Amino acid sequence: MNRRQFLATSTAAALTTPETMTDAHVHVFTRNPKSPYAQGAHPPDLDASAEALLALMQSNGVDRTVLIQVIHYRWDNSYLADVLRRYPRQFQGVCRVNPEDPNAPEQLARLTEVQGFHGVRLSPAATAEGDWISGPLMPPLWRRCARLKVPMTLLIPASRLPDIHPLIESNPDLQVVIDHMADAPLADAQAEDNLLALARYPNVFTKLSHLWSISHQPYPYADTRPRIQALLKAFGSNRLMAATDWPVSLPHLTYAQAIDLFRSRLKDFSPADRTQILSRTVRRVWPFT
Please, which pLDDT band fits residue 200 given cuts at 50, 70 and 90? very high
Share of the chain above pLDDT 70, in %: 94
Say what the pLDDT of residue 18 is.
Answer: 59
User: At 64, is the secondary structure helix, strand, or coil?
Assistant: strand
- Residue 182 structural domain: 19-285
Average pLDDT over residues 7-29: 67
75-126: per-residue pLDDT in tens? 999 999 999 999 999 999 999 999 999 999 999 999 999 999 999 999 999 9
CB-CB contact of 164 with 203 (8 Å): no
Q: CA quadruple 107, 137, 182, 212: dihedral positive or negative? A: positive
Supply the pTM of this predicted model: 0.93
Residue 55 has pLDDT above 50, yes or no: yes
User: Is residue 133 within 8 Å of 160, Cβ to Cβ?
Assistant: yes
Per residue in 119-132, pLDDT (tens digit) is 999 999 999 999 99
Q: Which of 179, 171, 115, 180 is nearest to 141 (CA)?
A: 171
212 within a domain of the structure (yes/no)? yes
Inform me whether the pLDDT recorded for 275 exceeds 70: yes
Inform me whether the pLDDT recorded for 8 exceeds 70. Answer: no
* Domain assignment of residue 4, yes or no: no
Residue 8 lies in a domain: no
Please work out, in degrees rounded to the nearest 5, the angle formed at the alpha carbon of residue 48 by the alpha carbons of 46 and 50.
155
The alpha carbon of 209 is separated from its chain's Cα centroid by a whole number of angstroms, namely 8
Higher per-residue pLDDT: 254 or 5? 254
Q: In sequence order, what E strands does the chain have?
A: 21-26, 62-68, 91-96, 120-122, 152-154, 176-178, 204-208, 240-242
Residue 145: inside a domain, yes or no? yes
- Please check whether residue 12 lies inside any domain of the structure: no
Instruction: Report yes or no on 10 lying in a domain.
Output: no
pLDDT digits (tens, 9 = 90+) for 138-191: 999 999 999 999 999 999 999 999 999 999 999 999 999 999 999 999 999 999
Q: What's the CATH number where 85 sits?
A: 3.20.20.140
Main-chain phi, psi angles of 96, to 5 degrees: -120, 145
Q: How many structural domains compose the chain?
A: 1
